[in-house]
Amino acid sequence: MLDPLKRICQFEVPGGGVCRDEGCEDMHLSRLAGPDGRSSAQPTDEDTAEYLVDVLPPDWLGENSTILRTKIALALEQIRVKNPQMNLEERVAHALASLGTPP
């Protein structure tokens, strides 16, 4: 479980590193694994949508960003429910494709 009061270990960010200090009390994303052995720590659909709205090109932001954020979050949720085996990157690609090309 993630503890919001702890920081992520400096050896695991920006990603790929491994902390070898058994006494380290920081958060270790690499140690949060699901039943399949893969990491279970992923952002929520809402967090992902918010991030995407912040980084998408201005062409995509032709409409109200709150509405776009909601549309992206709903698309991500639908894809996650229908295809639970998809990873985050695949879900984002499918969600954006389902919204069509920007105006």
| First CA to last CA distance, the chain | 41
Which amino acid appears at position 8 of this protein?
I
Residue, of 4 and 43, whose pLDDT is higher: 43
Average pLDDT of span 5-34: 76
Q: What's the pLDDT at 10?
A: 82
Q: What's the pLDDT at 102?
A: 62
Q: What is the residue whose two structure tokens read 């690499």? A: 30
Q: What's the pLDDT at 33?
A: 59
Tokens of 70: 């909601």
Q: 63 φ, ψ to 5°?
A: -105, 175
Report pLDDT digits (tens) over 34-77.
Answer: 555 555 567 789 988 888 888 888 777 776 778 888 999 999 99
* Chain centroid to CA 61: 20
- Closest by CA position to 27, among listed 8, 13, 11: 8
